[in-house]
Amino acid sequence: MHKKLINFVQEYYHTKEFIPLHTPTFCGNEKLYVNNTLDSTFVSSVGKYVDQFEQQIEVYTGTAKAIAAVNGTAALHTALYMAGVKSGDLVITQALTFVATCNALYHMGAEPVFVDVSKVSLGLCPIALDNYLEDNAFINNDGFSQHKLTQQVFRAVVPMHTFGHPVELDELMVVCSKWGIALVEDAAESLGSFYKGQHTGTFGSFSAISFNGNKVITTGGGGMVLCKSFDEGLHTKHITTTAKVPHPYEFFHDEPGFNYRMPNLNAALGCAQMEALPKFLKQKRKLALKYKDLFMGSEFQFIEEAGYAKSNYWLNAIICLDAASRETFIKQTNAHGVMTRPIWKLMHRLPMFENAFRGPLENSEFIEARVVNIPSTPSEIGKSDA
Ligand SMILES: Cc1ncc(COP(=O)(O)O)c(C=O)c1O
């Protein structure tokens, strides 16, 4: 099968050179807008492109307020801060995620609690979440959940839309409200992914998107906080911009803030990339369908969107029969210049999170041993019959 994949992607991308997993595509107004920032000298934290980019994201996702940030990790850090996460709190998330999810909560002084994922979504499983809380939590007089042993408050639940595939949000929201825990979505990978017609990242009180170079669209580095409430959105902007009270020349800051502003230079790139987003999504969906056909009837299962979801198919992925078959597949494809990569190691295997509380992680372990990402860059030339 690895030979079939190698032939397919080499034909699809019309090259025998190295084929990476995901690279940026600049085919529209990127140079024009970036040059505008240089010509105007507004390359830093002030400039029209930041506002424009935030508005584009608001219109596209339907969120009440979008606040640009310097990267996705900073956006998630801000989202957790705004959701009220405090030092000593517990934050429930997936062991199957990129480390940035846990880094953001760690830097709030919180501790991660790992709960299993669903095999349907690859994201946090609502049943596993409820079971974990039934076994380990009680609801206090204020309506918040605390850990039965340590009394720590479970302050937030952070599901992550793995590779752009939306988690089961309705069910997760029911569990979160049953236990009085805030929902914060790590939507870093899911710009362009919808759950039952609503954009991911608009369900939680706060969410974070990433525009890192490997994402569906990029600003070089960048992120966005999505805020469900307009007023909370204004407050979010305030704290990401040093909490400075507006004044023509006086410095007065009325609370602790971050300097997480996205520079205008990066936002200019983002504005142009947003114009191309619908095209990228179409191309990515086409590629996913081709992969689905390619792997049909083989020992590898192509990961498709769930029935309730429209995925952006950010990173295409397959499930191998077992760890040994995956090892061979990864070795062979990389040896032929086609980049493939195993999914992340589970977070509790990393030294800094090895003592974290966790529930049973059977699905996470199954996926960890078998899933591989395959090249996913959207491509014009992919319009051919490759
Ligand atoms: C799941 C997840 N969370 C958070 C991030 C952090 O985003 P960034 O790299 O922009 O800081 C990323 C991406 O890199 C990610 O994949």
DSSP per-residue letters across 16-83: SS-B-S------SSHHHHHHHHHHHT--SS-SHHHHHHHHHHHHHH--SEEEEESSHHHHHHHHHHHT
Nearest to 48 by CA among 71, 68, 62, 63: 68
- Residue 181 reports pLDDT greater than 50: yes
Q: Which helix (H) or strand (E) holds 138?
A: strand 137-139
For ligand 1, the distance from its centroid to the CA atom of residue 104, given in whole angstroms, is: 10
The span from the CA of 125 to the CA of 267, in Å, is 35
- pLDDT, averaged across the chain: 96
Q: Is 162's C-beta closer than 6 angstroms to any atom of ligand 1?
A: no
Contact 206, 227 (CB under 8 A): yes
For ligand 1, the distance from its centroid to the CA atom of residue 215, given in whole angstroms, is: 9
Q: Is 71's C-beta closer than 6 angstroms to any atom of ligand 1?
A: yes
Please choose from 161, 193, 212 the residue to mutate so as to test ligand 1's pocket, defined by most ligand atoms within 8 A of CB.
212
Q: Is 97's C-beta closer than 6 angstroms to any atom of ligand 1?
A: yes
Tell me: the pLDDT tens digits for 301-358? 999 999 999 999 999 999 999 999 999 999 999 999 999 999 999 999 999 999 999 9
Q: Is 98's C-beta closer than 6 angstroms to any atom of ligand 1?
A: yes
Q: Is 217's C-beta closer than 6 angstroms to any atom of ligand 1?
A: no
Contact 97, 186 (CB under 8 A): yes
The string of DSSP codes covering 305-324 is --TTEE----SEEEE-SSHH
CA 143 to chain centre: 29
DSSP SS3 for 209: strand
For ligand 1, the distance from its centroid to the CA atom of residue 244, given in whole angstroms, is: 27
pLDDT score for 381 = 61
- Residue 386 reports pLDDT greater than 90: no
- Residue 240 reports pLDDT greater than 70: yes
- Residue 384 reports pLDDT greater than 80: no
Tell me: the pLDDT tens digits for 74-102? 999 999 999 999 999 999 999 999 999 99
Tell me: the pLDDT tens digits for 10-66? 999 999 999 999 999 999 999 999 999 999 999 998 899 999 999 999 999 999 999
Q: Is 163's C-beta closer than 6 angstroms to any atom of ligand 1?
A: no
Please choose from 22, 70, 98, 105 the residue to mutate so as to test ligand 1's pocket, defined by most ligand atoms within 8 A of CB.
98
Q: Is 189's C-beta closer than 6 angstroms to any atom of ligand 1?
A: yes
For ligand 1, the distance from its centroid to the CA atom of residue 220, given in whole angstroms, is: 13
In 10 A of CB 184, how many CB atoms?
31
Helix spans in 224-322 (H): 230-240, 264-295
The span from the CA of 285 to the CA of 294, in Å, is 14
Taking the CA of residue 76 as reference, the ligand 1 atom at the shortest distance is: 4
- Residue 385 reports pLDDT greater than 80: no
For ligand 1, the distance from its centroid to the CA atom of residue 118, given in whole angstroms, is: 21
Tell me: the pLDDT tens digits for 182-218? 999 999 999 999 999 999 999 999 999 999 999 999 9
Taking the CA of residue 221 as reference, the ligand 1 atom at the shortest distance is: 10
For ligand 1, the distance from its centroid to the CA atom of residue 100, given in whole angstroms, is: 6
Tell me: the pLDDT tens digits for 263-296? 999 999 999 999 999 999 999 999 999 999 999 9
For ligand 1, the distance from its centroid to the CA atom of residue 210, given in whole angstroms, is: 6
For ligand 1, the distance from its centroid to the CA atom of residue 74, given in whole angstroms, is: 9
Query: Could you tell me the pTM of the whole model?
Result: 0.97
For ligand 1, the distance from its centroid to the CA atom of residue 320, given in whole angstroms, is: 25
Q: Whose CA is nearest to atom 10 of ligand 1?
A: 72
